[in-house]
A and B are shown apart, each in its own frame.
Chain A
């Protein structure tokens, strides 16, 4: 029953961050040599640098907006900063790398989860035309649904998420008092 369900739904990304949508574009995200698939587990060091994000296709007149958020900040059990905005790029043409060919509205901040295992979500929207987007005043408590409504981006065309934890890992015995 739970087999073959969309990983985005199983991990509650659909629900916590996005509404159900139909995938209509394909994007590839690579941190260095490592290609990211849904649920990939990475530590902070692996995601330190800006990833390569490429949207499949050949029509460079089509433009996309990419949003990267952490819905589990600062901690999955108490996500007060949901969603924490890590990166926002607009006007990305198809077949081009987002880091170099798009308009970086909010610069890339590498995820450094202080506690727990966080889902980090990449969401891709298709733009009708070149548009200017204003950076929010702060990174926390960003809301992708509202963002999409404000800028008339419609539903996402693609989404991808991975799991990120701090460098020293989570779980295991804690020797100091904790609650």
Chain B
């Protein structure tokens, strides 16, 4: 029952395909100006724009991306953060204690993500830390750097991305809402139809019963009358 809200068949592949989801986003051609195809290409690999990519979970052409529930969206985002920002204890202090679980908020994810990525991916922010320490140091530096020296272009890019994620979540919620509403309507329709059928049946039965009773009452009446008539004709007064 617990898995009823996530389609079981596609859940495991999604998790493994997921980690590079937003990673590709950032490390890809730059956030600059992306149209829908670019976004999809970034998420699902270059093959996915027209067909299905090999990394795709089974039933997922690009349209299916749109149909993921809010639950799944967050699962992927959490998986991204959890898998690529290593020792969660070290780097995710910024996450406010988020351990990659769904409790994490958007802000926390971005803060942690910024920290973990900044050292590795964005070449224009050179930290000069050795590779080993890049995680925790980057995390620490990233944490502090959340507000301070950010290029306007960077900030705009981050805001844009933030908005995109928020919008995606909102869209997913809206779809869930719609589905739930339709599902409720359907069950109401089924219930009402059933009720109507029963009421009609009941009405029909009552009619039949009434008719039958009427017929039964009529026959004796007629018979009696005939007998009386007969008797009367017999006993004439001559």
**How many residues of A are counted as interface, with CB atoms below 8 angstroms from the partner's CB atoms?**
26
Instruction: Write the nearest CB–CB distance from B88 to chain A, whole angstroms.
Output: 21
Are the CB atoms of B5 and A9 closer together than 8 Å?
yes
Residues in B with CB closer than 8 Å to A7 are 180-181, 183-184, 187
Residues in B with CB closer than 8 Å to A38 are 180-181, 184
Q: Which of B7, B106, B159, B188 contacts A37 (CB 8 A)?
A: B188
Q: Cα distance A112–B64 when bound, in Å?
A: 34
- Residues of A that sit less than 8 Å from B by CB: 1-12, 14-15, 20, 37-39, 41, 76-78, 116-117, 163, 179
Known: A11-B176, A39-B177. A77 touches B106 (CB 8 A): yes
Residues in B with CB closer than 8 Å to A14 are 5
Which residue of chain A is the closest to B6 with respect to CB atoms? A15
Instruction: Write the nearest CB–CB distance from B176 to chain A, whole angstroms.
Output: 6
Q: Which of A10, A12, A15, A77 contacts B183 (CB 8 A)?
A: A10
Are the CB atoms of B71 and A39 closer together than 8 Å?
no
Within 8 A of A (CB), among B1-33: 1-2, 4-5, 7
Q: Cα distance A117–B202 when bound, in Å?
A: 43
Which of B76-84, B165-173, B220-228 is near enough to bind chain A?
B165-173
Residues in A with CB closer than 8 Å to B70 are 12
Residues in A with CB closer than 8 Å to B170 are 76-77, 116
Residues in B with CB closer than 8 Å to A9 are 4-5
Q: Which of A2, A4, A15 contacts B187 (CB 8 A)?
A: A4
Q: Cα distance A17–B98 when bound, in Å?
A: 20
User: Sorted from nearest, which 7 A-B pairs have the closest CB atoms?
Assistant: A10-B180, A39-B181, A11-B180, A7-B180, A20-B1, A38-B184, A7-B184
B209 contacts chain A at the CB level, 8 A cutoff: no
Known: A39-B181, A39-B184, A76-B173. A1 touches B1 (CB 8 A): no
Q: Cα distance A64–B69 when bound, in Å?
A: 34
